[in-house]
Amino acid sequence: MYSEKVMDHFMNPRNVGEIENPSGTGIVGNPKCGDIMQMFLQIEDNVITDVKFKTFGCGAAIATSSMATEMVKGKTIEEALKLTNKAVAEALDGLPPVKMHCSLLAEQALKEALEDYFTKNNIPLPEGFTKPNVEEDED
């Protein structure tokens, strides 16, 4: 049911933990399943130099969180803003359809963390800034 990559990131998640005094942090909970994810970003000169996460959730949520952190580490804010849950799922060689909603946790937590960074630094939200809303996801 799960790809080898999903199993690998679930069994050996990358970038687990937290960052003290992060540049930005975001926490998201899915009220339907009760799973929670928090993401921490260290940002220097517009580049995400470090990223950590803590996920209390299902295997798919842990695997997508892990893959999402790998995909944004070392990237600019502009590049990180383009990350979608679908791209993360594709990088994991797919997720079962009933588990796609789990990948939204990672995308939303990343965008919440970036929004926190913008707010803390009085940076206007980039044009077209959107974030998924796990609570409104219907599947």
Give catalytic residues, as residue numbers: 33, 102
Spatial contact of 133 and 61, defined as CB atoms under 8 Å apart: no
Length, in residues, of the chain = 139
How many Cβ atoms are within 10 Å of 60's Cβ, its own excluded? 25
The reply to whether 39 sits near ligand FES by the rule CB under 6 A is no
The reply to whether 88 sits near ligand FES by the rule CB under 6 A is no
**List 35, 107, 112, 116, residue binding ligand FES (CB under 6 A):** 35
The reply to whether 66 sits near ligand FES by the rule CB under 6 A is no
Quote the least distance from Cβ 104 to ligand FES, whole Å. Answer: 8
Spatial contact of 133 and 108, defined as CB atoms under 8 Å apart: yes
The reply to whether 105 sits near ligand FES by the rule CB under 6 A is yes
Quote the least distance from Cβ 10 to ligand FES, whole Å. Answer: 11
The reply to whether 102 sits near ligand FES by the rule CB under 6 A is yes
Distance between start and end Cα atoms, the chain: 18
Of 24 and 57, which has the nearer Cβ to ligand FES? Answer: 57
Bridge partners of 47, per DSSP, are 44, 76
Quote the least distance from Cβ 117 to ligand FES, whole Å. Answer: 24
The reply to whether 27 sits near ligand FES by the rule CB under 6 A is no
Q: φ and ψ at 69, to 5 degrees?
A: -65, -40
The two three-digit tokens of residue 39, written as one number: 């993401």
Q: What element of type H or E holds 8?
A: helix 4-11
| Binding footprint of ligand FES on the chain (CB under 6 A) | 30, 33, 35, 57-58, 60-61, 102, 105
